[in-house]
Structure formats: structure tokens, C-alpha cells
Chains A and B, each alone.
Chain A
Amino acid sequence: MFIIRKKRDLTPVTKLFVVDAPLVAKKAQPGQFVIVRIAPSGERIPLTIADADAKAGTVTIVIQEVGKTSRQMGLLKEGDGILDFVGPLGRPAPLTDKGPVVLVGGGFGVAPIYPIAKALRAKGVKVISIIGARSQDLLILEAEMASVSDELLVATDDGTKGHKGFVTEVLKQLIDSGRDIELVIAIGPMVMMRAVGKTTEPYKLKTLVSVDPIMVDGTGMCGACRLTVGGKVKFACVDGPIFDAHQVDFDEANRRGKMYATEQKLAVDRFEKAHHSGPCACGCGGGH
């Protein structure tokens, strides 16, 4: 059991957990992920590491309640245990010595961007961060990102905070303004990462993205996470999860990500039914 030390609701559907996992905390590097399982009958899901404290022996993860497992996980409280918490897995983000680096985080993708920003800053690399969400109340970790960025730019789809529109528009303005940029790293929904790649490609600006495919073991065993990068098949769990945005076949990745859409919907419906009508099956004493 891996005990949840702290829980923070970042938005109504985005939750941050600080988890006791000393061995993982000691090794975790920005860009790596863990595999989590919360019940004996549960599935194994990958979650990108949002922070790690080797001294305290804790690892921070952020979940967005989308599927059944993330919803169920959202109900966990401080002091509860996570059954399995394995990692750190995948290759760390390449931490360049040369900046400036533009970090783009969309939605709950801001969470895994944070440790990269922190590590680059610690190396003295200039960090310009662009974070975005649909709306201000869905924007996460703004203060944290400000504390590890030389410059922080914000975009919301509805204009409730910062630039009204997409993070890619802010990125394009930044590039077009003639600013010196060595590298762009973008993490967020697949559509956003693809758009970032499309934005930087004409400028031949090196751009990395962190893909988030379906995984089972996370150690190279199953190949569920395979994707095509530069015409070659890669396993995101051992070859990634960070890849060159200009080489990733996003159409394929997007389609593979939806392989179990029907099953996911069925599982979510069952879960919602059990938790929102009548006496709750989870033992919480009612609806949520």
C-alpha cells in the first residue's frame, strides 16, 4: 500500500495526490511516469509524475476524472492507500543546458510540465511557460508554474484569463516576435500536442511532446502503447513517453487511444450508477 499524504482538488475534476513512495521518489526524473492500480480488480493506468521529493519520500501525481479508474481514484482521501504504485518508468525528459526553453502545458498536462520547468530552472536554463485551459476555473498550478518560470503566459479558450484562445496562438506570437527559442516541450491533450507540433514545424523549431497512450505493464512487455514515430514503431513505455512532435503519427496515436472507448463508457456508466443513485456501493454513505 502506498499512502496518500496530501490531496488537493485543483478543479472539480482534477485532483492532486502526494503519495508515500520512497523508492520511486528517490529515482523519479521529470518526464517519467508511474503505473497505478487502486483495487484488486482494478486496471493498471499510467500517470505522469508531477513532482517528487526524495527527502520526504513522496511522489506527486495529478489525475483528471475521465474514465472509471480516475473517477474512482478521485474519491480517495488523505490517509487512504493506493494498492500499487510502480516506477519511475519511461525515459526522463532530456534536460538541455541551453535555453530558453518554451514549455507548453494544456489542461492537466500542466502537471507533468511543472517538474520539467523546475529542473530546467535549477540548471539555470531560461524557462518561458505557456499554460492553458478551457476556462480560468479549469486552469491548474498557475502559482507553482509562475514560481519556476522566468515568464508565464496564460491562455483560456473563453478568455476568462490571459489570452483568449489557444496556447498555440500564444506560442506562435512568441516565435513571430523573434524571440530566441532553443526547444519547445508540450504536454497536454493529443489535439493540443499535435497543434503545437504543427505550429513549430514551419520554423524547424525542435519540439518534444509526452504521449499518453494505453498501457498495461509499462515495462515493455505488452506493446499496447506502440505508436509510429518517424515511420518506426516505438513503445511509449520504454522508448518514450517523450518523442519528437514532428515525427509522431498523431492520427494513429489518437485512434489507438480510443480503442476501448465503448468499454470505457460502459465502465463509467456502471460506476456513475453505483455512486450517484441510491445508497452508494463504495461505503461512503450516500451519493457523491
Chain B
Amino acid sequence: MPEHETTPAKRLPVKRPRAGMPTQDAKARGRNFNEVALGYGEELAVGEAERCLECKKPVCQEGCPVEVRIPEFLGKIRDRDFRGAYETVKSTNSLPAVCGRVCPQETQCEIKCVLGKKAEPVAIGRLERFVSDWAMGQSQDKPARIKPNGKKVAIVGSGPAGLTCAGDLAKKGYKVTIFEALHAPGGVLIYGIPEFRLPKQIVAEEVGNLEALGVEVICDVVVGRTITVDELFQQGYDALFLGTGAGLPMFMNIPGETLNGVYSANEFLTRTNLMKAYLFPEWDTPIKVGERVAVIGAGNVAMDSVRCAFRLGAKEAAIVYRRSEAEMPARHEELEHAKEEGIVFHTLTAPVRVLGNADGWVTGLECIKMELGEPDDSGRRRPIPIKGSEFTLNVDTVVMALGTSPNPLVSQTTPGLDVDKHGCLVVRDEDGLTTRDLVWAAGDAVTGAATVILAMGGGKKAATAIDKVLQGAK
């Protein structure tokens, strides 16, 4: 964007390099579960906010699925009105402390930042985290009483999609109840994303903020088993939102996958994060981490798994990926963090089978080297096995991080709720209306495994649509 479109500012943007994120020392953090990124302090935050050009047409905002008014909150940080900045973020984003940590800002808001064309973009994500963390340290004003509008909405699943939808509807006066299958709310934010990237206390505080708005969270209810969608309508809910995620793990279907020591990433991460296996035996859930761990895959879940394995005490923790580093789907930052911590990368390597001993325990992973051919449907170069290049990785734990698909428990028990061939819920419009009237859905349950922020964007759109339909139906 041409520079003349920037506001003739009352305050000129300050030219300085983007403020780096203070982090825990790589060597130490590789072996503990404390948060890696430590967050900006006030001075770093104000300094970084001063870099904003305050463009007349804030293109950064267009990159945000939950429509955070970015220049406005940056401006308030600059003025040291941190509470005001937090209120601005919070007015459209129900989970700012989460987004500030796990959103891929580099492909959302920051990629649009005009500064990024010549230098580095403003660190919008880090500033979002700063204001949220600042607010958590302050005494919270009781949220203004919202006038109930007399309508009830049930939300199935308390992951990012469900929490966002719940927050937006509660702010509009709906009586919102979230049903969660696990024993604690947060979905992937608590069972999947590790403590060192997203402390569980942060998730608990964000959920607490929603409860303060009047949202009710009921755990230990598996919709599709404990209660069905139709029964929820019978209980008087006016609309339903399904944010059931993509929880089913995929395996490779290679020999040896049922050997002791082979985990799905879901199980490995759930034991570690939700069940706190790293605190065994003080906590009851155990995990087996051998001396050498191979994690298959190179997405964010694979990076989380391999970094957990190292923290759990593995001598060597490695990524095994059939393409090259350029094709890795993980966030660049996660990849860099993993490298700094000493994670080993076996690229252009595909597992052929898991090897085991007579007692049924993993002893190795037979792999084959790959080379890249022509681009495939995904646009990435197709990996092709190199004949005769088989070799064995000496490992005793294997974690499959190959992706996940939606859980069929709700669709199987809800007549008229259609899924596509991948098991994803079919939606009739952009707002996430499913093939059942008054039932909306968003997040991984619709898209297949994607990001937290896309799920939140979907939850937000659905909330707007639910409000529109229910108010029209008055």
C-alpha cells in the first residue's frame, strides 16, 4: 500500500526494529514445561505499538477472522491506556490471551501489515498477548449486567469455536450452556496444546471470563451418548452450535502400529497436557517415553509432540517427515523453537513399518528415503520413495502425528445431520448452518483439522447468524 494513505498523524510512527520476544533459555526450557515465550513488558509493548503507521485503511484488520480493531488497540497501548486496549480487543475476541499465543499471526494480520513490505510487520500477536496478560494481573471489573433476551442456545464442545460462539451470544443476552465431553473445558486448548505454549491457567481464566458473562459450562456430557441433539431441543434450547472438533486420530496402517510404545499424537498429548503425565506419580496418569522418540509428521501437532517428548526426558526426540523442510505445515516459529531446543529432523524420510521385540515393545522404525517429484493436488512436490534406500531408526517410542478427522458421535446420532466423505459436517452457508435447521457448526468439525483462529472465526460468524435467525423468529 502506498505510504500516502497513512494518516497524517498527530503522532508519527517511530522507526525502530520489531521488538523481539523474550524467551526462556533454549537449553533450560527444552527440559521443562514452563512457558517458552515470556511476553513483552510495558516498555517493549509501548515501543512496539509506536511502530504502527495507523493506516487509514487498516488492512491488518481484514486478516483477522474475529475482526479485532487492531490500530485502535495499538493506539491505546501507545497511550498507555492498557485497560482500554484490552477492552477493545475483548469486544470482538473472546479469547485474546489464547490468540496472542497460538494464532499464526504471520499468515493472518501481520502478513497484511504495510510495514512488512519494507521491514518487519508490527508484532500484533505479541501485543494482543501483552494486553491480555496485563488485564489478568489487574482486578477485574464485574462485567456490566447484560439484559437477558429470553432465548437459550446450547453449545456442544468447549474448544475455541464453542467458546467464541458462547462469548458472542452471551454478550447479546442469550442464556448459553456449553456441554463438554471431557472433565475440563477448553477442548484442544487443554488436551492438545502443551503447557509450554499455552499455560492451562490462561485457558481457565478465559473460560472464567465467559462464566462471568453468564455462560454455563457442563463437563462430562458426551453429546451423542449422554444426550442427543434432539433431546437438547426438547429441553427448550432455541438453537444449537456444534464445535465438536476433529478428535479422531489417523494412523498410517503400516505393520507394527499396535506395538507397545506407539502412540497417536492425540493420546501422547492428552496424557501429557490434560492428564499431566509429566507429573507422574504425583498425578496418576503415566506415559511411556523411551530414550529415543520418533514423531511422524511435521505439523504443529507433531512439533508439540516432539517437544513434549524431549521435555518428558527422551535423550533424542526426532521428527520424521516424508517431504522437505520447505513443505512442513508447522508454524515457522514452532519449527525454530524446536530446532533451538535440539529436536532432530529426518526429512525426506517415510516410515515403512514399526519394528518390535518378542515382548511386543517398539525397537525401531524402518524408513525409506524419499525424493521430491512433481507437485501434487496440494501444490506441494510429491514425495517419491527411493528404491533400496530403506534403513532403520533406532527408537523405542513412536508418535503418529498425521492429522485428525471429526468425531462421528454427534452426526451418527442426529438424523438429518449430513457429513461429507471425510466425516466433516456439511454446512449450507458461510455462517455454518448445517443440514439441520437451527443447528450451526464451525471449527475443525466442519473444516477438518485447522487452526484455533479459524475455528474462532467460524464460531463468531455462527453466533451472528444464530442471533439474526432467533431475533427474526421473535
Interface residues of chain A, those whose CB is within 8 Å of chain B, are: 23-24, 27, 37, 39, 41-44, 68-69, 83-89, 216-217, 219-224, 226-228, 233, 238, 252, 255-256, 258-260, 263-264, 266-267, 270
- Cβ distance A167 to chain B, nearest Cβ, rounded Å: 27
Given contacts A223-B251, A223-B266, A259-B288, 12 further A-B contacts (CB under 8 A): A37-B183, A41-B282, A43-B284, A44-B275, A219-B181, A220-B248, A220-B407, A222-B266, A223-B249, A227-B258, A252-B360, A256-B360
In the complex with contacts A221-B266, A252-B258, A87-B225 CB distance below 8 A: yes
A259→B283 CA distance, assembly (Å): 18
Query: Across the interface, do A233 and B225 meet the contact criterion of CB distance under 8 Å?
Result: no
Query: Across the interface, do A219 and B407 meet the contact criterion of CB distance under 8 Å?
Result: yes
In the complex, B391 has a CB within 8 A of chain A: no
Give residues of chain B (196-249) contacting chain A, Cβ–Cβ below 8 Å.
219-222, 225-227, 247-249
**Which residues from B are CB-within-8-Å of A43?**
275, 283-285
A285→B102 CA distance, assembly (Å): 47
Query: Across the interface, do A84 and B267 meet the contact criterion of CB distance under 8 Å?
Result: no
Query: Across the interface, do B225 and A27 meet the contact criterion of CB distance under 8 Å?
Result: yes
**Which residues from B are CB-within-8-Å of A223?**
249, 251, 263-264, 266-267
Which of A83, A87, A228 is B258 in contact with, Cβ under 8 Å? Answer: A228
In the complex, B469 has a CB within 8 A of chain A: no
Query: Across the interface, do A267 and B281 meet the contact criterion of CB distance under 8 Å?
Result: yes
- Cβ distance B443 to chain A, nearest Cβ, rounded Å: 15
Q: List 5 A-B contacts (CB under 8 A).
A: A219-B407, A220-B409, A223-B266, A256-B260, A256-B360
In the complex, B449 has a CB within 8 A of chain A: no
Of chain B, the residue at the smallest CB distance from A24 is: B226
A24→B181 CA distance, assembly (Å): 13
A134→B357 CA distance, assembly (Å): 33
- Cβ distance B404 to chain A, nearest Cβ, rounded Å: 9
Query: Across the interface, do A263 and B264 meet the contact criterion of CB distance under 8 Å?
Result: no
- Cβ distance A229 to chain B, nearest Cβ, rounded Å: 11
Query: Across the interface, do A87 and B222 meet the contact criterion of CB distance under 8 Å?
Result: yes
Query: Across the interface, do A42 and B284 meet the contact criterion of CB distance under 8 Å?
Result: yes
- Cβ distance B400 to chain A, nearest Cβ, rounded Å: 9
Query: Across the interface, do B260 and A85 meet the contact criterion of CB distance under 8 Å?
Result: no
- Cβ distance B337 to chain A, nearest Cβ, rounded Å: 25
A87→B264 CA distance, assembly (Å): 23
Query: Across the interface, do A84 and B281 meet the contact criterion of CB distance under 8 Å?
Result: no
Which of A27, A86, A222 is B264 in contact with, Cβ under 8 Å? Answer: A222
**A contacts with B: majority SS:** mixed
In the complex with contacts A220-B409, A223-B267, A255-B360 CB distance below 8 A: yes
Query: Across the interface, do A216 and B271 meet the contact criterion of CB distance under 8 Å?
Result: yes
In the complex with contacts A219-B222, A220-B409, A270-B281 CB distance below 8 A: yes
Top 5 A-B pairs ranked by shortest CB distance? A263-B286, A222-B267, A43-B284, A255-B360, A221-B247
In the complex with contacts A220-B409, A223-B264, A23-B226 CB distance below 8 A: yes
Which of B227, B249, B253, B258 is A256 in contact with, Cβ under 8 Å? Answer: B258
Query: Across the interface, do B284 and A41 meet the contact criterion of CB distance under 8 Å?
Result: yes
A263→B266 CA distance, assembly (Å): 21
A190→B288 CA distance, assembly (Å): 23
In the complex, B276 has a CB within 8 A of chain A: yes
- Cβ distance A94 to chain B, nearest Cβ, rounded Å: 17
Interface residues of chain B, those whose CB is within 8 Å of chain A, are: 181-183, 191, 219-222, 225-227, 247-249, 251, 253, 257-258, 260-261, 263-264, 266-267, 270-271, 275-276, 279-286, 288, 359-360, 407-409
In the complex with contacts A43-B285, A216-B275, A256-B258, A86-B267 CB distance below 8 A: no
**Which residues from A are CB-within-8-Å of B270?**
216-217, 221-222
- Find the residue from B182, B248, B257, B360 having the highest chain A CB count within 10 A: B182
Query: Across the interface, do B283 and A87 meet the contact criterion of CB distance under 8 Å?
Result: no
Query: Across the interface, do B258 and A68 meet the contact criterion of CB distance under 8 Å?
Result: no
A43→B283 CA distance, assembly (Å): 8
Which of A41, A84, A86, A259 is B260 in contact with, Cβ under 8 Å? Answer: A259
Query: Across the interface, do B249 and A221 meet the contact criterion of CB distance under 8 Å?
Result: yes
- Cβ distance A274 to chain B, nearest Cβ, rounded Å: 11
A202→B355 CA distance, assembly (Å): 33
**Which residues from A are CB-within-8-Å of B260?**
255-256, 258-259
In the complex with contacts A216-B270, A220-B409, A228-B258, A266-B281 CB distance below 8 A: yes
A217→B273 CA distance, assembly (Å): 13
In the complex with contacts A44-B275, A233-B251, A84-B280 CB distance below 8 A: no
Which of A37, A41, A89 is B276 in contact with, Cβ under 8 Å? Answer: A41
Which of A23, A86, A219, A263 is B409 in contact with, Cβ under 8 Å? Answer: A219
Query: Across the interface, do A233 and B264 meet the contact criterion of CB distance under 8 Å?
Result: no
**Which residues from A are CB-within-8-Å of B225?**
27, 87-89, 219
**Which residues from B are CB-within-8-Å of A89?**
222, 225
**Which residues from B are CB-within-8-Å of A85?**
220
**Which residues from B are CB-within-8-Å of A24?**
226
**Which residues from B are CB-within-8-Å of A221?**
191, 247-249, 266-267, 270, 407
Query: Across the interface, do A87 and B226 meet the contact criterion of CB distance under 8 Å?
Result: yes
- Find the residue from B221, B248, B285 having the highest chain A CB count within 10 A: B285
A84→B360 CA distance, assembly (Å): 33
Query: Across the interface, do B226 and A216 meet the contact criterion of CB distance under 8 Å?
Result: no
**Which residues from A are CB-within-8-Å of B285?**
43-44, 216
Query: Across the interface, do A84 and B266 meet the contact criterion of CB distance under 8 Å?
Result: no
**Which residues from B are CB-within-8-Å of A219?**
181, 222, 225, 247, 407, 409
- Cβ distance B225 to chain A, nearest Cβ, rounded Å: 6
- Cβ distance A215 to chain B, nearest Cβ, rounded Å: 10
A27→B227 CA distance, assembly (Å): 8
**Which residues from A are CB-within-8-Å of B280?**
263, 267
Query: Across the interface, do B284 and A86 meet the contact criterion of CB distance under 8 Å?
Result: no
**Which residues from A are CB-within-8-Å of B248?**
220-221
- Cβ distance A240 to chain B, nearest Cβ, rounded Å: 14
- Cβ distance B419 to chain A, nearest Cβ, rounded Å: 15
**Which residues from B are CB-within-8-Å of A264?**
286
**Which residues from B are CB-within-8-Å of A220?**
247-248, 407-409
Which of A84, A233, A266 is B219 in contact with, Cβ under 8 Å? Answer: A84
Which of B183, B257, B264, B275 is A84 in contact with, Cβ under 8 Å? Answer: B183
In the complex with contacts A219-B181, A259-B288, A88-B247 CB distance below 8 A: no
A86→B267 CA distance, assembly (Å): 18
- Cβ distance A63 to chain B, nearest Cβ, rounded Å: 15
A233→B400 CA distance, assembly (Å): 15
Which of A41, A69, A217 is B182 in contact with, Cβ under 8 Å? Answer: A217
Of chain A, the residue at the smallest CB distance from B221 is: A23
Query: Across the interface, do B360 and A44 meet the contact criterion of CB distance under 8 Å?
Result: no
